[in-house]
Amino acid sequence: MWGFIFDLDGVITDTAKYHYLAWKTIADELEIPFTEEINERLKGVSREKSFEIILEVGNRLDMKSEERAKWCEKKNKLYVDYIKQMKKDEVLPGVRVFLEKIRKGGDCIALGSASKNSKLILERLELQKAFDVIVDGTMVTKAKPDPEVFLQGAKKMHINPENCIVFEDSTAGIEAAHKGGMKTVGIGDAKILRKADGVIAGFEGWTPEKIVEEVLFCVK
Ligand code: G6P
Ligand code: MG
């Protein structure tokens, strides 16, 4: 039996654009330059770490922790306003069918996300019932690339890490899954996700069996 573990942002749905808009507002207020390139570095990392990267770009690492917390809270309010408006058709192509196929095959499905907003996002996408297990940013103490989020997912599914396949769009997430002894499938660009065991552009046209046979155990 396999345990399939999915990251949320960038794998199930594209929330990067909302993170970008919210962080851009904050960066503009702080007069720190913020580009799509910097946004790429924020993928998979916690809210606090994301802000640290922004402060580093702006040479503002001297900011005190209470002030950092206020900006992070403000960013989250802006972000939540965007995700509250999400529609169920914002699930990435092929994801819903792929999840249904895993369910029919009898394997286990977990969410392994750094986000503290995962419940709201899954609700907006009408996907709450698609996961047997949910582990998110509200339940872990160590952020990716630490494997905690995925190891908790495996434990809750009662499946050994070596029988877990993690789907991730970020390098921090791929690293986390490997540290946890799991197999990895990168979602996106193979050049960026070169450490993943296999990379696919998206879920359209893929079945769980095809992933196991062609992506993870193929002769490269
Ligand atoms: C995901 C995203 C990151 C985000 C993190 C925390 O991993 O890829 O960009 O910073 O979740 O999200 P949150 O919704 O808790 O701010
Ligand atoms: Mg992600």
Its pTM stands at: 0.94
Last residue of a domain, one of 29, 60, 83: 83
Same domain, yes or no: 64 and 99? no
Prediction ipTM score: 0.97
Same domain, yes or no: 50 and 157? no
Same domain, yes or no: 47 and 10? no
Q: Residues 184-220: pLDDT tens digits?
A: 999 999 998 999 999 999 999 999 999 999 878 754 4
Last residue of a domain, one of 83, 113, 138: 83
Domain containing residue 133: CATH number:
3.40.50.1000
Whose alpha carbon is nearest atom 14 of ligand 1? Answer: 115
**Amino acid letter, residue 199:** V
- List 9, 107, 136, 197, catalytic entry: 9
More confident position, 176 or 216: 176
34-43, 92-101, 164-173: range with lowest mean pLDDT: 34-43
Q: Residues 103-156: pLDDT tens digits?
A: 999 999 999 999 999 999 999 999 999 999 999 999 999 989 999 999 999 999
Same domain, yes or no: 143 and 194? yes
Residue 132 annotated to the active site: no
Q: Report which bound ligand comes closest to the CA of 78.
A: 1
Residue 7 annotated to the active site: yes
Whether 114 has a binding-site annotation, put simply, is yes
Contacts from 57-66 at CB under 8 Å and sequence distance 24+? 57/32, 57/33, 58/27, 58/30, 58/31, 58/32, 58/33, 60/30, 60/32
Residue 218: what pLDDT? 59
Same domain, yes or no: 146 and 211? yes
Q: What burial class does residue 118 get, using C-beta atoms within 10 Å of its C-beta: 0-12 exposed, 13-18 middle, 19+ buried?
A: buried
Cα–Cα nearest to 106, from 210, 213, 13, 209: 209
Same domain, yes or no: 67 and 127? no
Whether 185 has a binding-site annotation, put simply, is no
Report the number of distinct structural domains present in the chain. 2
Same domain, yes or no: 116 and 79? no
Whose alpha carbon is nearest atom 6 of ligand 1? Answer: 115
Same domain, yes or no: 142 and 58? no
Task: Show Cβ contacts of residue 17 under 8 Å, excluding neighbours closer than 6 positions.
Answer: none
Same domain, yes or no: 200 and 97? yes
Same domain, yes or no: 121 and 193? yes
Same domain, yes or no: 73 and 154? no
Confidence of residue 39 (pLDDT cuts 50, 70, 90): confident
Last residue of a domain, one of 36, 67, 83: 83
Domain containing residue 22: CATH number:
1.10.150.240
Same domain, yes or no: 45 and 102? no
Residue 204: what pLDDT? 97
If residue 165 lies in a helix (H) or strand (E), which one and from where to where?
strand 164-168
| 159 neighbors 47 (Cβ within 8 angstroms) | no
Q: Mean pLDDT, the chain, as a whole number? A: 95
Q: Containing domain of residue 60, as a range?
A: 16-83
| 187 neighbors 174 (Cβ within 8 angstroms) | no
Q: Which residues sit opposite 214 in a β-bridge? A: none
